[in-house]
Amino acid sequence: MDTLLALLTVFTQPQLFLLVGLGTFLGVYIGAIPGLSVTMAVSILISFTFSWDVYPAISLMVGIYMGGVYGGSRTAILLNIPGAPSAIATAMDGYPMAQRGEAGEAIGVTTVMSFFGGLVGIAVLALAAPFVAEFALTFQPRDYMLLAVLGILLVGSLSAGSLLKGIFAGALGIAIGAVGRDPLTFAERFTFDFQIMEGGISFIAVMIGMFGISEALLQLHHVGAEAMRQKIDRIVPSWSTVRKYLPLSLQTSSIGVIIGALPGTGGDIAALMAYDHAKRVTKKPTRPFGTGAMEGLVAPETANNAAVGGAFVPMMTLGIPGDAVTAIMIGALFIHGLNPGPMLMVDQPQMFWFIVGALLTANVFILICGLTGIKLFTKIVEMPRAVLIPLIMLLSVVGAYAVNNSVTDVYWMLGFGVFGYFMRHYGYPLGPVILGVILSRLLDDNWRRAIISEREDLGAFSAGIFGSPLSLTLLLVVVAIFVSQTPVYAMLKSRISKRAADQA
């Protein structure tokens, strides 16, 4: 009964309901406007909702997250520019459809399928999370440490071309998170004897710098780019169209939830894998894939929205984020004094059910925002970058300042913004940095707890890992990711593919 009440909190309080709706609405547009991203919006918003109560703040951010994942598909279809990484696969068939003048239909189907995928993801979250949390209570500190390493490595290896750059970025994040006085021994770490660094670097300044300022600086390269105009008419899809793709969408939603739930993998990977799956199982696509096949649109869009629910599973139960946006959501929960992890589920189950309720509401709002307001949409997307870029910069400065009322944070933010700008140019992924900053404390604490409980004996520590199936599995996956980057793996792979070619 309590669970049900907590789930319905959003519906019983009109203020929260409206905030979720507003968040979703904003998310759809932020996701759709090229140059604005969900990660940017959520990082800036954390600082603004800082003084709010936790429920309204979470309502707004859940809405933006959910809406943003969907909103990225709009520009993928209309302009061949994925508004978010999770919409990359959407562009492959969505843009060809728009070129044929079927943009309206593509958007309509995308909206309904996103809603459907989101629903599946939330259902799985509600059903699975309590069990995972219970299981997670048996985790040893070493398991948490391995999970944190795994999460950072996966984000580094899957979101970019070069794992090495991902490793560098993740390690840099952990180091940034370690700056300041060590909470256990009060030893100064990376403070360079500056007093202002003793309190550490505000992770919000890092986030806003990396995702706000660096993006705005990059957008300066395209300030003259013309805003595109597209004619869109009918967008509500017919029931028969929806029914036709229901079986496929159920499969791809399942893929989305599972991929989303793996630590370190988010909507972008889920969407690409679902697209691949659709390609394999669809015998007769409406058109060949890549030229505007409806299946190629349904698969990634269901998967990336289903991945949202999936990504909340490790985030809420283990405190391990699935990607940059969930890392920022964890940051938001931290700021409001919540500590995501198995204990949150035990101590404050109502918070978990409230978030499930908010996700559910946001999902319904996607359907509403997605199928209406097309005229307004085209107007907003045409907002000139000459105005947009200075506004992003202004909001970033205000956001960085607002959390601690400190100009130092503004300078950190600018510094990381410029650094992130170069990182983006040279192919270093930013996601692992944020994951590293967020997970730094968890990793450090658990490593020390694990090694102290083994009396500083590395032998006993490794024996512990090899004695537990869970720890061993985690370790093997970590090792496998490393091996996949060495010449040994490339050699093996070429040998296997050669053998396969010989047999064929």
Footprint on residues 445-474 left by other proteins (CB under 8 A): 447-448, 451-452, 456, 458
For residue 477 the two structure tokens come to: 């996956």
Report the residue number, 54 or 418, with the smaller CB distance to other proteins: 418
Question: Which span (215-223, 252-260, 330-338, 360-368) binds other proteins, by CB under 8 A?
Answer: 215-223
DSSP assignment letter at 189: E
Binding-site member from 18, 48, 140, 470 for other proteins (CB under 8 A): 48
Q: How far is the CB of 402 from other proteins (least distance, A)?
A: 5
Contact 327, 312 (CB under 8 A): no
Binding-site member from 9, 24, 43, 49 for other proteins (CB under 8 A): 49
Question: Which span (119-127, 346-354, 361-369, 398-406) binds other proteins, by CB under 8 A?
Answer: 398-406
Binding-site member from 196, 225, 472, 490 for other proteins (CB under 8 A): 225
250 binds other proteins (CB under 8 A): no
Return the residues of window 401-420 that contact other proteins according to CB under 8 A.
401-402, 405, 407, 410-411, 414, 417-418
CA-nearest of 88, 66, 60 to 76 is 88
Distances in Å between the alpha carbon of 131 and those of 26, 199, 316, 345? 33, 37, 12, 10
Q: How far is the CB of 419 from other proteins (least distance, A)?
A: 10
Report the residue number, 84 or 133, with the smaller CB distance to other proteins: 84
Q: How far apart (Å, rounded) are the C-alpha atoms in residues 42 and 35?
A: 14
- The dihedrals phi and psi of 321, each to the nearest 5 degrees, come to -75, 150
For residue 327 the two structure tokens come to: 């890392």
Binding-site member from 315, 395, 438, 475 for other proteins (CB under 8 A): 395
Q: How far is the CB of 201 from other proteins (least distance, A)?
A: 13
Q: How far apart (Å, rounded) are the C-alpha atoms in residues 310 and 302?
A: 12
Q: How far is the CB of 388 from other proteins (least distance, A)?
A: 9
* Residue 76 identity (one-letter amino acid): A
Report the residue number, 246 or 480, with the smaller CB distance to other proteins: 480
438 binds other proteins (CB under 8 A): no
Q: Which residue has the tokens 């490793």?
A: 167
CA-nearest of 79, 3, 86 to 34 is 79
Report the residue number, 220 or 483, with the smaller CB distance to other proteins: 220
Q: How far is the CB of 222 from other proteins (least distance, A)?
A: 5
Report the residue number, 306 or 392, with the smaller CB distance to other proteins: 392
Return the residues of window 5-44 that contact other proteins according to CB under 8 A.
34-40
Return the residues of window 163-202 that contact other proteins according to CB under 8 A.
164-165, 167-168, 171-172, 174-175, 178, 182, 184-185, 187-190, 192
Which residues contact residue 444 at a Cβ distance below 8 angstroms, ignoring those fewer than 6 apart?
Answer: 174, 178
Question: Going residue by residue from 268 to 307, which x/- string records binding to other proteins, judged by CB under 8 A?
Answer: ----x-----------------------------------
User: How does 473-494 read in b/e, with b if 16+ C-beta sit within 10 Å?
Assistant: ebbebbeebeeebeeeeeeeee
Binding-site member from 23, 27, 63, 82 for other proteins (CB under 8 A): 82
Report the residue number, 129 or 325, with the smaller CB distance to other proteins: 325
Which residues contact residue 329 at a Cβ distance below 8 angstroms, ignoring those fewer than 6 apart?
Answer: 42, 61, 65, 315, 321
SS3 of 439-492: HHHHHHHHHHHHHHHCCCCHHHHHHHHHHCHHHHHHHHHHHHHHHCCCHHHHHH
223 binds other proteins (CB under 8 A): yes
How many C-beta atoms lie closer than 10 Å to residue 121's C-beta? 33
Return the residues of window 352-371 that contact other proteins according to CB under 8 A.
none
At residue 118, the 3 state secondary structure works out as: helix
Q: How far is the CB of 124 from other proteins (least distance, A)?
A: 24
